[in-house]
Amino acid sequence: MEPLTRLNEEERMFQSSVRRFAREQIGPYVREMDESAHFRPEILKQMFDLGLMGIEIPEEYGGQGGTFFQAVLAVEELAVVDPSAAVIADVQNTLVNNAMLRWGSALQKQNYLPRLASDTLAGYALSEAGSGSDAFAMQTRAILDGDHYVLNGRKMWITNAREAGLFLLFANLNPEAGYKGVTCFLVEKNFPGFAVGRKEDKLGIRASSTCELILDNCRVPAANVLGEPGKGYKIAIETLNEGRIAIGGQMVGLARGALDHARAYAKQRKQFGKAIAEFQAVQLDLASMATDLEAARLLVYNAARLREAGLPFLKEAAMAKYFSSQIAETVASRAIEILGGVGFTKDYPVEKLYRDAKIGRIYEGTSNMLRLTIARQMLE
């Protein structure tokens, strides 16, 4: 049986093109974007022009007609150079586009998919100040008023918020019904009563904007309910389960980047008359880093293949995201140690990758929540 993790020729060519783009077009600006906490709009435009923001969107809507696995590959390759670019593409492809493809009406697809493929960045607005791991404890409310819904509340920690023109936003129509009242709305940035609030000043992935959203009697057309009223919880659960695989890809890419920097530095840095790569202790560190990285990559690729084949993948997705976020932090930390003093400075990229790695244990399922998911799946 052919390994589930093997890449075919089309996937290899796609991977190579994203890798080249990331190195040549994003690489020169990574430090600047991190320090300014601002993603260059011309790079975002290039990502759209290359089709990286509409990978699975069918060609009839202006997308690439690609696969989920290709989306994961793109996230990984972008993360090798800049995890901020990777999470921008991740939210667009594996959360928003996938939800639209699966639950969008014919009219919604016609209206939004061409925009999502060509020039409109999107955000995924689920979390609130008191609603993180307990995602459906949300306080944002929606009330039907004629042919519109009126939304009130605040969303927190929303990726892509500053640049996005469209949001998949979750609110509760019927709080007495608990999670069964949660509904998903397609909210455009220019809708009355909608505003983007404070931008978070973050430890890592700083070029990716993370902001609060303010809904003050925000009027959303009834036609902009995604799926149907009361089915928002299903949309959220299923998209996040898939999104975890891509975040696993982001963490794998980050670890690859850190290992590449550590290996290159070890070959050229000399101490006691020879390259430090010749010292056994450094070799052992590099070997452990490479082994952990390969194990994480195989977990991610296997989960992506299972999802693409229509097979159960919940446990595998949780394992992939949980393990890859662990090794990303560990590999980046070891990379700093191999570089020594210069690794602790901003003159070398590994300190940034170390800061970027921390979020992997938090968003799209904390490590503790993922371990509970794995255990429950094992014990069923």
- Taking CA 253 as the corner, what is the angle to CA 251 and CA 256, rounded to the nearest 5 degrees? 110
What is the distance between the terminal CA atoms of the chain, rounded to a whole angstrom? Answer: 28
What is the rounded CA–CA span in Å between residue 70 and residue 11? 7
Q: What is the pLDDT of residue 50?
A: 98
Together in a domain, 238 and 303: yes
The confidence band for 6, taking pLDDT boundaries of 50, 70 and 90, is confident
For the chain, percent of residues with pLDDT exceeding 90: 96
Q: Which of 317, 367, 260, 298 is nearest to 3 (CA)?
A: 298
Q: What is the pLDDT of residue 1?
A: 35
4 located within any domain:
no
Q: What is the pLDDT of residue 109?
A: 98
Q: 């929540």: which residue's tokens? A: 369
1 located within any domain:
no
Answer yes or no: is pLDDT of 249 > 90. yes
Pairing of strands 166-172, 122-125: parallel
Mean pLDDT of 266-282: 97
Measured in whole angstroms, the distance separating CA 135 from the mean position of its chain's CA atoms is 17
User: Tokens standing for 368?
Assistant: 């503790």
Q: DSSP 3-state helix, strand, coil percentages of the chain (rounded to 5)?
A: 60, 15, 25
Query: Which among 201, 230, 259 is the end of a domain?
Result: 230
Taking CB atoms within 8 Å and a gap of at least 24, the contacts of 133-141 are: 133/365, 133/366, 133/369, 135/236, 136/172, 136/178, 136/179, 136/182, 136/233, 136/236, 138/170, 138/171, 138/172, 138/182, 139/172, 140/169, 140/170, 140/171, 140/172, 140/215, 141/171, 141/172, 141/173, 141/175
- Give the alpha-carbon dihedral of 275, 276, 277, 278, to 10 degrees: 70
Q: Which residues lie closer than 8 Å to 293 by C-beta, 6 or more apart?
A: 252, 255, 256, 259, 327, 331
Together in a domain, 248 and 336: yes
Query: Which among 198, 214, 230 is the end of a domain?
Result: 230
Catalytic residues: 364
Mean pLDDT of 267-275: 97
Together in a domain, 178 and 277: no
Mean pLDDT of 14-26: 98
Q: What is the pLDDT of residue 5?
A: 61
Q: Indicate left, alpha or beta for 138 from its phi (over 0: left) and psi (-120 to 50: alpha).
A: beta
Q: Give the chain's mean pLDDT.
A: 96
Q: Which of 245, 283, 196 is nearest to 90 (CA)?
A: 245
Range of 328's domain? 233-379
Q: Which of 42, 10, 236, 58 is nearest to 132 (CA)?
A: 236
Together in a domain, 178 and 115: no
Q: What is the pTM of this model?
A: 0.96
Q: Which residues lie closer than 8 Å to 183 by C-beta, 6 or more apart?
A: 142, 170, 171, 172, 173, 225, 229, 230, 231, 232
Q: What is the pLDDT of residue 106?
A: 98
Q: What is the pLDDT of residue 255?
A: 98
155 located within any domain:
yes
Together in a domain, 37 and 105: yes
Q: Indicate left, alpha or beta for 131 from its phi (over 0: left) and psi (-120 to 50: alpha).
A: beta
Together in a domain, 369 and 248: yes
Q: What is the pLDDT of residue 2?
A: 41
Mean pLDDT of 217-227: 98
- Residues 225/124, Cβ–Cβ less than 8 Å: no
Q: What is the pLDDT of residues 26-82, one digit of tens each?
A: 999 999 999 999 999 999 999 999 999 999 999 999 999 999 999 999 999 999 999
Q: What is the pLDDT of residue 3?
A: 44
DSSP 189: T
Together in a domain, 177 and 253: no
The confidence band for 135, taking pLDDT boundaries of 50, 70 and 90, is confident
Residue ranges of the alpha helices (H) in the chain?
A: 9-21, 30-36, 41-49, 68-81, 83-90, 98-103, 106-118, 232-268, 280-308, 314-339, 350-357, 367-379
What is the rounded CA–CA span in Å between residue 222 and residue 118? 25
Q: 246: domain CATH number? A: 1.20.140.10
Answer yes or no: is pLDDT of 174 > 80. yes
- Residues 124/159, Cβ–Cβ less than 8 Å: yes
Pairing of strands 141-145, 225-226: unpaired
User: Tokens standing for 143?
Assistant: 């009330």
Q: 78: domain CATH number? A: 1.10.540.10
Q: What is the pLDDT of residues 93-118, one digit of tens each?
A: 999 999 999 999 999 999 999 999 99
Together in a domain, 267 and 340: yes
User: Tokens standing for 375?
Assistant: 């255990």
Query: Which among 73, 88, 121 is the end of a domain?
Result: 121
Instruction: Quickly count: other Cβ atoms within 10 Å of residue 267's Cβ.
Output: 12
The confidence band for 134, taking pLDDT boundaries of 50, 70 and 90, is confident
Mean pLDDT of 116-122: 98
Q: What is the pLDDT of residue 132?
A: 83
Q: Which of 343, 366, 362 is nearest to 354 (CA)?
A: 343
The confidence band for 380, taking pLDDT boundaries of 50, 70 and 90, is confident
> Interhelix angle for 350-357 vs 83-90, to 10°?
40
20 located within any domain:
yes
Together in a domain, 224 and 251: no
Q: 148: domain CATH number? A: 2.40.110.10
Our count of domains for the chain comes to 3
